[in-house]
Amino acid sequence: VIPDEWIIRLLDVCDKGEFQKIEQFVDEFLLEGYSTAQLIEQLSEQIVAADSYSDTQKAFIGEKLG
């Protein structure tokens, strides 16, 4: 299980849309040795439960995550 701090940080970085910060996050995440499949699963759960995204936004994100 990936600590929630990583999921929250990823959402924050993605919301800002700064490619360099996203790239930095990915590098740090991979160095920690976490599973990307686990990240996608937990990210999906976090987004579905979030009140800060509309149903349309959730559907769009879900499509992109696969």
Taking 50 as the pLDDT cut, the residues of the chain under it are: none
- How much is the pLDDT for 66? 80
Residue from 35, 36, 37, 43 nearest 62 by CA: 43
pTM: 0.81
**Structurally, how many domains does the chain consist of?**
1
Which structural domain range is residue 10 located in? 4-65
- How much is the pLDDT for 65? 87
The answer to whether 39 and 7 are in contact (CB under 8 A) is: yes
Residue 7 CA to residue 13 CA, distance in Å, equals 10
